[in-house]
Amino acid sequence: MIRKLLQLWRYLRSLLSPDGFAQASVWEQLGTIFVFGAMVILFLSPALGDISTSYRIFADPSSFADAEGPIQVFFGLVQMIFGLVLFSFIVSVLSAALVELVANIKGGKLPYRKGGHILIVNHNVKLPLILDEFNMRAQRKDVVEDVVLLCSEPEIVSNFHEHLDTARWSHLEIYIRQGDLLSFSTFERQGIMKALAVVILLPDHVEDEFAADNYNLKLLTTLVNKPEFFQHLSDCQKRHQPVKCSVELSGDTHCRDIALSITTKDAVPLFAVITPNDVIGHVIARAMVDVVYYNVFFEALSFEGTNALFVDPARFGALDIAQQVKFDQLLFEFSGGLLIGYSSVDSDGRFHLKLCPFGEAPAPSDWLLFLTEDADALQYTPQEAQALVPHPDITPPSEQSRRQLCVIGDAWKIGPVMRFIDTQSQDFLLKSHFVFDRPEDYFAPEFQQTLRAGGYDNIIINLDDELGFRLTMLLFAIPENNKAFRAKFVTVLKDPQVEKLLNERAIHCKTLLSHKLAAKYIAQLSFQKSLEILFTELTFPEGAEFNLLEVGTHIPQTLLHSTVDLKHLLAAHQMIYVGIVDAEKRIFLNATDMTNAQQILALSKGTV
């Protein structure tokens, strides 16, 4: 008891010292001022007549005019001075507190006390694009989403505050925070235990990819070393309500292996590891073969337009899973979207996916996977079963195309491209892959003449953004009446601003923007973690993926008179009709008018 009284006495003495008062909290400072003011009012009240008179002179200096006699005048003057000084102290303390609050807000030092938010860690050029996708989704749902941006550098926080475009992200409530990312307490202050999703971006303030990967691996280790957090992720996974966690790394395979190893519990990965060599790299590789594939995934990954959605079959009252209706029949009984497969989650929280499961009926625990613009528009109507008879004039497409490709540069490795072209095309590509040590060689007239004489189907400008921009502008600046030649160029870029400049100037040039595609992919995983498995299967040659049927080669023009008939014809070959592609490589999903169709887009397991 005596020890506690001594501690209290030391605490009170420290508040009365200049250093102690300056370092105390706002509430302690205000409490000290109010207590001191009350003591002054109480001690001077006998000389001023009563407490009410003492308080009036203290709080209202004009009451000093009512003082009578020399004693009241003297002590009233003292009381008035104390009141003015103490009230000025209160104003100063509150002003300083307000200044500190504003500084903490701008410096990102405040905690986030709510929940149900998306926590984005680190900053890079993809962040505004990810926020665009979040805003688009929130706008479609007519809600306001909370997003917490957490960075380690104060300069990043102040710069983002300065350039924050609230009109651009009108359906997002953005909280910008800063702290030590290698301390779990920083994440606790920002409500990581109550977050719906955690997105760790590859930081752009770190000099090289090796150091950036190490930084994110240290950050991951900081999180998983906290047993409470790791167990929280595992428990949510088992409850089939996973926290959507993802981390972005560079293309180093061993970094991906490390990240998966430390974030896996009971054989279930709790973080999606995103690298350029995975989904996005394979989309870019296949788009080099045919730019249509870029447009397909650009549409499928965007929150605007058609999306992949998992739907509980219990929502459709007329659908009786116990009847064991096979996929071949269910395919035609839904409207408002395209049924493309089944999904399920086992007791350990592991996700399983079946695409194009022809001949199989959904299990009682399965969910249905759709491509749809609006989940509310999905309707189920039972129909009479129809026999699916393969048509002799329809040839299922091969996953390996025959294309004469020319690739300029090695910003993206051509290894994945080889998986999507046949042996003859692979040999051709190896001979027409141009990589020069000197940048000026790409602009030589002799090289430009080689491009014109090569007879290529596609010419891929696969350089860094600066060289790619310059070469594309040069090729489109040279007088050229051959639009067919210009239409062969496809430029692979990262920077959205460079893409915008090229699209406005080089009208016929096609661009593949890897950062925008990656931003859409990261945004999708922030709301549906299971989409990682879906898009992995769709982008790799193994399993089911989007395939193109050339009109006149794989399917006769005469069979394109009716969408309903076409769906049945394709289903007989275990293909799902998705849409059409016109001569300008524009995609029309679930199109009913096939007049301008040059290619038919289908989902199938293809042939190799």
Burial letters 178-205, b for 16+ CB under 10 A, else e: bbebeebebbebbbbeebbbbbbbbbee
pLDDT at 12: 61
**Which has the minimum average pLDDT: 173-182, 344-353, 473-482?**
473-482
pLDDT at 608 exceeding the cut of 60: no
pLDDT at 461: 95
Please provide the average confidence, as pLDDT, over all residues in the chain: 86
pLDDT at 94 exceeding the cut of 80: no
What is the rounded distance in angstroms from the CA atom of residue 210 to the CA atom of residue 225? 22
What is the rounded distance in angstroms from the CA atom of residue 387 to the CA atom of residue 375? 29
What is the rounded distance in angstroms from the CA atom of residue 562 to the CA atom of residue 571? 14
pLDDT at 595 exceeding the cut of 70: yes
- Which tens digits make up the pLDDT trace of 302-337? 888 888 899 998 888 878 877 888 999 999 999 999
Mean pLDDT, residues 82-105: 68
88 Cβ neighbours under 8 A, 6+ residues apart: none
pLDDT at 65: 66
Mean pLDDT, residues 492-518: 85
Q: How confident is the model at residue 49 (pLDDT cuts 50, 70, 90)?
A: confident
pLDDT at 169 exceeding the cut of 60: yes
Q: How confident is the model at residue 481 (pLDDT cuts 50, 70, 90)?
A: low
48 or 523, higher pLDDT: 523
247 or 43, higher pLDDT: 247
Other C-beta atoms closer than 10 Å to the C-beta of 172 total 20
pLDDT at 278 exceeding the cut of 80: yes
**Tokens 């702290």 identify what position?**
179
pLDDT at 8: 62
pLDDT at 417: 93
pLDDT at 22: 59
pLDDT at 409 exceeding the cut of 80: yes
**Which has the minimum average pLDDT: 1-10, 365-374, 380-389?**
1-10
Residue 406 is inside which H or E element, if any?
A: strand 405-408
pLDDT at 554 exceeding the cut of 80: yes
- Distances in whole angstroms, Cα of residue 428 to Cα of each of 7, 58, 282, 362, 421: 84, 94, 20, 44, 10
Tell me how far the alpha carbon of residue 265 is from its chain's centroid: 24
pLDDT at 319: 82
Percent of the residues in the chain that have a pLDDT greater than 90, as a whole number? 46
Are the CB atoms for 202 and 256 separated by under 8 Å?
Answer: no
Nearest-5° angle of CA 245, CA 247, CA 250? 165
pLDDT at 19: 59
pLDDT at 257: 92
pLDDT at 99 exceeding the cut of 70: no
pLDDT at 60: 66
The three state secondary structure string of 555-571 is ECHHHCCCHHHHHHHHH
602 Cβ neighbours under 8 A, 6+ residues apart: 397, 546, 547, 548, 549, 570, 575, 576, 577, 578
90 or 297, higher pLDDT: 297
Mean pLDDT, residues 524-528: 91
100 or 274, higher pLDDT: 274
Beta-carbon-side half-sphere exposure of residue 388 (alpha carbons within 13 Å): 22
Q: Alpha helices of 108-226 — where are they, by DSSP H?
A: 127-141, 154-163, 184-189, 209-224
The pTM of the full predicted model, rounded to 2 decimals, is: 0.82
Mean pLDDT, residues 263-278: 87
Mean pLDDT, residues 425-447: 94
pLDDT at 217: 95
Cα R_g (the chain), whole angstroms: 33
Q: Are strands 433-434 and 458-461 parallel, antiparallel or unpaired?
A: unpaired
61 Cβ neighbours under 8 A, 6+ residues apart: 80, 83, 84
| Selection from 536, 296, 282, 502 nearest residue 413 by Cα | 282
390 or 101, higher pLDDT: 390
97 or 59, higher pLDDT: 59
Burial letters 394-433, b for 16+ CB under 10 A, else e: bebbebbbebebbbbbebbebebbbbbbbeebbebbeebb
Amino acid making up residue 456: Y
pLDDT at 107 exceeding the cut of 70: no
pLDDT at 10: 67
